[in-house]
Chains A and B, each alone.
Chain A
Amino acid sequence: MTVSENDKAIVMAEIRVPTLGESVTEATIGKWFKKPGEAVAVDEPLVELETDKVTIEVPAPAAGVLSEIAAKDGETVGVGALLGQIKEGAGAPAKPAAVATAATPVKLAAPAPTADTPVAPSVRRIATETGVDPGAVAGSGKDGRVTKGDMMAAIERAASAPTPVAAPAAAVAVRAPSPADDASREERVKMSRLRQTIARRLKDAQNTAAMLTTFNEVDMSAVMAMRNQYKDLFEKKHGNKLGFMGFFVKACVQALKDIPAVNAEIDGTDLIYKNYYHVGIAVGTEKGLVVPVVRDADHLSLSQIEKAISDFGRRARDGALKIDEMQGGTFTITNGGVYGSLMSTPILNAPQSGILGMHKIQERPVAIGGKIEIRPMMYLALSYDHRIVDGREAVTFLVRVKELLEDPARIVLDL
């Protein structure tokens, strides 16, 4: 027989680091919203975790009292690691106490290893030899201690994972000290995990892809006219505003269908052409850039796309995006125009092979049919990976996007 369920008489639930999505193995504790001893309701956010991709909130798995915080603010934790515990208490459904008579408050042994928990000798040896930090490995031993087996499994996972856990550390360059005069006027701030990841991924993309950018410009008159004509009706029917992004997503999806290389990626010596269209939309937030993905955009109506994007934007600013909502994109659109950019060269969102840069719509004189006219113009940029996309394809893609936007009827007619 086993009595492992015993603990449940007291401990209602353990709070553990949830699965964070593919290739995300660890997170940093951002902030605990609750203090030990405070009552919590089921699904109430307890703690914020910062990961490579996103900041997520871990909700309370059960109602009760937060009895124990096992990982403090700023600590790095692996997937599955114990964050804390909720025990029975005020707000929790009262368990029919069989014959509990003593009202002694429940005291529990520390359920997870703290920073000063000694590390087993085999684990120390492996950590020294491989550089794998036992603190970042979820422990299966008593009270969550890391065993030799846990370390070996972590090494095995790291070996098969696309991005080794230890990689970012190697990239840290030490800066020469500033003159004393200036040093006192500098502020040193630790990079958030999100910022570190953005930095690493952008640089990885630059180092890997043969990246270059082609430009074009689009006359937004038609789209704007259509928008002005239907915006009220659209909002009335669909409940959200008619913006420009929907048109761009639609135009890009059609262009991607015409030029499959832009929707493809390189895997070793293979090319993978994707016959699905998951379009990432870059969203700036206070903490950094995130790229939620509109999945199967080719199957969505313009209103559905608009709705999805405005929902993403709102939740990105609240830090409420889920990891899986930011994975699996095949192409990305970034809009520097919202900040006033006229022209830019976006960096690829690896392993994707294309990214469209939108810019500010600006009225400019253009020659139309031999006459100068004032038109609302936007420069378009397509950065692409020349290893997989030829110049002809890249230019054609951008021309297709331009044509579709200048004459939206083509979107409807699939021309």
Chain B
Amino acid sequence: MSYDLIVIGTGPGGYVCAIRAAQLGLKVAVVEKRGAHGGTCLNVGCIPSKALLHASEMFEEAGHSFAKMGIGVSTPKLDLPTMLKFKDEAVDGNVKGVDYLLKKNKIDSVFGVGRITAPGKVEVTSADGKTQTLETKSIVIATGSAVAPLKGIEIDGKRVVTSDQAIALPQVPGHLLVVGAGVIGLELGSVWRRLGAKVTVVEFLDRILPGLDSEVGRQSQRLLEKQGLVFKLGSKVTGVDSAGKTLKAKIEPAKGGAAETIEADVVLVAIGRVPFTEGLGLEAAGVTKDNRGRVTVDAHYATSVPGIYAIGDVIAGPMLAHKAEDEGMAAAELIAGHAGHVNYDVIPNVVYTFPEIASVGKTEDELKEAGIAYNAGKFPFTANGRAKANQQTDGFVKILADAKTDRVLGVHIVGSDAGNMIAEAAVAMEFGASSEDIARTCHAHPTLPEAVKEAALAVAKRAIHM
């Protein structure tokens, strides 16, 4: 039989694309090599890491905060196998959810490695080596990304690991060396530190969380250091000697200079991710890629070959599940002959450390570089009633608004629940709101989002509670 659309990959981009296309009346199949739907996000990324972040945060709360709240518990004991099972259940529940949604939308699931043999033809090789060729009018490549390798370091999956294994370490390492102070390194570093590991984070650049607002980076670094994370910035790991019982990592200053050796039980390589297109047959099909290995697409997600589209981590843009989802939705709509659109200026970004770090829109650094005049309004959670009640007063809300039009250009939040709070800012920005619009919108008391309103007031230098 022939399909209208085959989506290769069932991560958040792929399965959303498939469901949207099915909603619009297309006959759709998905091809998945992993053996479970959901891609990196559900299986080894966002979801399992959030389960571990939640569980480890509870563990830390129980150990550090309960007593002062008058909750008497004996020192909490870590049962790692159960915690990992808790995480696996989260993954399992979400994967089953995707299975159900695909079935509900009458989408055929084909498990195996997909390869485009010609426009309109996808060959699927299943685990047992059998192949079948599916025919379709359109193909969407949604194969996502894989961990970026680090030159000179071999991943063994046991002691030198990527995030894929770092969500399932069988025991808490005595010393975890994290290479890369990006979102993945900080989140997983936080998990294992809470569970008892000593954690050192080595970063090539002289700041953590590159790309985020630099004030956010500085403040977050200070908060994470207070929790016990050790940062070695401006440094690079040039090799890991795994001959002995402990790993010996060679660290050099990024600018050059004397090397030092750091001993660690586990090294987590988290320097980023690269588009994954291996074995897809793109070269043979004539699908072009840019110099960073990303599939090139036009504004309609069409690749250089008619009938072949690409979305998510394999194309340019931030590697975020929600960005892939929105592109999947837009691509499906365009393929079905409708309008589809993603607003790349308003894509939120969240780091799920404690406190959380969330942002949407432009950073102060970007505005300065672009020479855009802006007003900044900042409000600390130390002045927010709810944060005080919870005794979780770390962090702040910062709103950047155009100096002339007052239009909100960027919002940056460091604080408990920042990831949820950023949604308000994204909606406001999508509608072209001014900081005054946020300031004049009633916010419930006592809540953390009141700090968003106060920051908006602060843009016009009229914050009430400061």
Interface residues of A in 280-309 (CB under 8 A from B): none
Most buried by A among B334, B406, B432: B432
- Determine if A160 is an interface residue (Cβ-Cβ < 8 Å): no
Contact for B330 among A3, A102, A103, CB less than 8 A: A3
- A100 to B335, Cβ gap below 8 A? yes
A104 and B336 form a contact (CB under 8 A): yes
Complex contact B339–A125 (CB within 8 A): no
Give the residues in chain A near B300, CB-CB below 8 Å: 3, 5-6, 9
* A2 partner, pick from B137, B334, B344, beta carbons under 8 A: B344
Render B435-459 as a binary contact track against A, CB cut-off 8 A, 1 for contact.
Answer: 0110011000000000000000000
- Tell me the complex Cα distance, A152–B434, Å: 12
Interface: B404 (CB within 8 A): yes
Which chain B positions have C-beta within 8 A of A1? 297, 299, 315-317, 344
CB B456 to nearest CB in A, in angstroms, measures: 10
B138 at the binding interface (Cβ < 8 Å) = yes
Does B340 sit at the interface, judged by CB under 8 A?
yes
Asked whether B164 is an interface residue with its Cβ less than 8 Å from the other chain, the reply is no
Determine how close the nearest CB of chain B comes to the CB of A137; give it in whole angstroms: 13
CA of A107 to CA of B23 in the docked complex: distance in angstroms? 14
How far is B337's CA from A98's CA once the two chains are assembled, in angstroms? 9
Provide the bound-state CA to CA distance between A293 and B9, in Å: 67
Which residues of A (66-125) have their CB < 8 Å from a CB of B? Answer: 97-104, 106-108, 120-122, 125
CA A28 to CA B259, docked complex, whole Å: 76
The reply on A383 being an interface residue by CB < 8 A is no
Q: Which residues of A contact B405 (CB under 8 A)?
A: 147-149, 152-153
Nearest Cβ in chain B — how far from A292, in angstroms?
Answer: 39
Asked if B341 lies at the interface with its beta carbon under 8 angstroms from chain A, I say yes
Contacts of B299 in A (CB 8 A): 1-6
B402 in contact (CB, < 8 A): yes
Most buried by A among B307, B434, B436: B434
CB of B34 to closest CB in A, whole Å: 27
Given A3-B299, A3-B300, A145-B431: A102 and B437 within 8 A (CB)?
Answer: no
> A7 to nearest B CB, angstroms?
5
**In whole angstroms, how far apart are the Cα atoms of A4 and B138 in the complex?**
22
Given that A101-B26, A101-B137, A121-B441 are contacting pairs, would A142 and B431 also be in contact in the complex, using a CB cutoff of 8 Å?
A: yes
Contact of A7 with B341 in the complex, beta carbons under 8 Å:
yes
B306 contacts A by Cβ under 8 Å: yes
Q: Are A7 and B339 in contact (CB under 8 A)?
A: yes
Question: How far apart are the CA atoms of A98 and B402 in the complex, in Å?
Answer: 41
Which residues of B have CB within 8 Å of A121? 436-437, 440-441
Report how far A11 CA is from B4 CA in the complex, Å.
23
A141 contacts chain B at the CB level, 8 A cutoff: yes
Q: Mark A215-239, 1 if CB is under 8 A from B, else 0.
A: 0000000000000000000000000
Cβ–Cβ < 8 Å partners of B25 in chain A: 102, 104
A275 sits at the interface (CB 8 A): no
Complex Cα gap A230–B430 (Å): 71
Annotate B284-309 by CB proximity to A: 1 below 8 A, 0 otherwise: 00000000000001011110001100
Q: A residues within 8 A CB of B440?
A: 121-122, 125
- Contact pick for B138, options A6, A99, A152, CB 8 Å: A99
Contact of B339 among A6, A97, A101, A140 (CB under 8 A): A6
Produce 1/0 per residue, A326-346, CB < 8 A to B.
000000000000000000000
Judge whether A161 is part of the interface by a CB distance below 8 angstroms. no
Cα of A1 to Cα of B306 in the assembled complex, Å: 19
CA distance A3 to B336 in the complex (A): 16
- Taking a contact as CB atoms under 8 Å apart, the answer to whether A98 and B339 are in contact is no
Complex CA distance for A99 and B406, rounded to whole angstroms? 43
Q: Is A10 an interface residue (CB 8 A)?
A: yes
B316 closest partner in A (C-beta)? A1
Binary interface encoding of chain A residues 360-384 relative to chain B, with 1 for a CB under 8 A from any of its CBs, else 0: 0000000000000000000000000
Residue of B nearest to A1 (CB): B316
Q: Which of A2, A103, A120 has the most CB of B within 10 A?
A: A120
Which of B337, B342, B407, B430 is in CB contact (< 8 Å) with A104? B337
B339 touches A141 (CB 8 A): no
B426 vs chain A, min Cβ distance (A): 12
**Residue among A2, A100, A122 making CB contact with B336, cutoff 8 Å:** A100
Alpha-carbon separation in the docked complex, A5 to B432 (Å): 19
Query: Once bound together, how far apart are the Cα atoms of A250 and B339, in whole Å?
Result: 59
- Name which residue of chain A comes closest to B434, CB basis: A148
How distant is B443 from chain A, measured CB to nearest CB, in Å?
A: 13
Residue B24 is within 8 A (CB to CB) of chain A in the complex:
yes
CB contact under 8 A between A147 and B344, given known A2-B299, A100-B336, A104-B25: no
Whether, in the assembled complex, B338 has its beta carbon less than 8 Å from a beta carbon of chain A, the answer is yes
Q: B358 → chain A, closest Cβ, in Å?
A: 22
Say whether B407 contacts A10, CB under 8 Å: no
Contacts of B297 in A (CB 8 A): 1
Contact among B337, B344, B430 with A100 in the assembled complex (CB-CB below 8 Å): B337
Q: How far is the CA of A125 from the CA of B336 in the complex (A)?
A: 43
A99 touches B339 (CB 8 A): no
Residue numbers in A under 8 Å from B138 (CB-CB)? 98-99, 101
Given contacts A2-B299, A4-B299, contact A99 B436 (CB under 8 A): no
B407 to A, closest residue via Cβ: A149
Give the residues in chain A near B4, CB-CB below 8 Å: 99, 101-102
For A106, the closest partner residue in chain B by CB is B338
| Docked-complex contact A102 and B26, CB < 8 angstroms | yes
Contacts of A9 in B (CB 8 A): 300, 334, 337-339
User: B436 touching A122 by the CB < 8 A rule?
Assistant: yes
A147 contact set on B, CB distance < 8 A: 405, 407, 432-434
Q: Which residue of B lies closest to A87 (CB)?
A: B339
* A2–B407 CA distance with the chains assembled, in angstroms: 20
Q: Are B340 and A3 in contact (CB under 8 A)?
A: yes
Smallest beta-carbon distance B444→chain A, Å:
17
Central interface residue in A3, A107, A120, by most chain B CB within 10 Å? A3
**Complex interface: chain B residues within 8 A of A148 (CB):** 405-407, 434, 436-437
Contacts of A98 in B (CB 8 A): 138, 302, 306-307, 335
Nearest CB to that of A5 among chain B residues?
Answer: B299
Kindly provide the distance from the CB of B347 to the nearest chain A CB, expressed in whole angstroms. 12
- Complex CA distance for A120 and B428, rounded to whole angstroms: 10
In the complex, chain A residues whose CB is within 8 Å of the CB of B339:
6-7, 9-11, 106, 108
Known: A3-B341, A6-B330, A104-B24. A99 touches B404 (CB 8 A): no
Contact A122 B338 (CB under 8 A): no
* Residue on B nearest A124 in the bound complex, by CB: B440
Point out the residues of chain A lying under 8 angstroms from B24, CB to CB. 102, 104
Known: A125-B436, A148-B407. A99 touches B335 (CB 8 A): yes
Docked CA distance A121–B307 (Å): 46
Closest residue of B by beta carbon distance from A147: B432
Q: Which residues of A contact B306 (CB under 8 A)?
A: 98-99
- Inter-chain contacts of A140 with B (CB < 8 A): 432
Give the chain B neighbours of A107 by CB distance below 8 A. Answer: 338
Residue of B nearest to A140 (CB): B432
Contact, CB under 8 Å: B341 / A106: no
A95: min CB distance to chain B, Å: 10
Instruction: Tell me the minimal C-beta distance from A413 to chain B in angstroms.
Output: 61
Please tell me if the beta carbons of B430 and A142 are within 8 angstroms of each other in the complex: yes
Residues of chain A with a CB closer than 8 A to B26's CB: 101-102
Known: A99-B335, A101-B137, A148-B434. 11 other contacts (CB 8 A): A6-B340, A9-B300, A9-B334, A98-B138, A99-B137, A99-B138, A101-B4, A102-B24, A122-B406, A122-B434, A142-B430
Question: Can you spell out 24 A-B residue pairs with CB atoms less than 8 angstroms apart?
Answer: A1-B297, A1-B299, A1-B315, A1-B317, A3-B340, A3-B344, A4-B341, A5-B300, A6-B300, A6-B334, A9-B338, A9-B339, A98-B306, A102-B24, A102-B25, A104-B25, A120-B431, A120-B433, A122-B433, A122-B434, A147-B434, A149-B434, A152-B404, A152-B405
State the 4 A-B residue pairs at the shortest beta-carbon distance, nearest first. A149-B405, A141-B432, A121-B440, A100-B337
Binding site for B on A (CB under 8 A): 1-7, 9-11, 97-104, 106-108, 120-122, 125, 140-142, 145, 147-149, 152-153
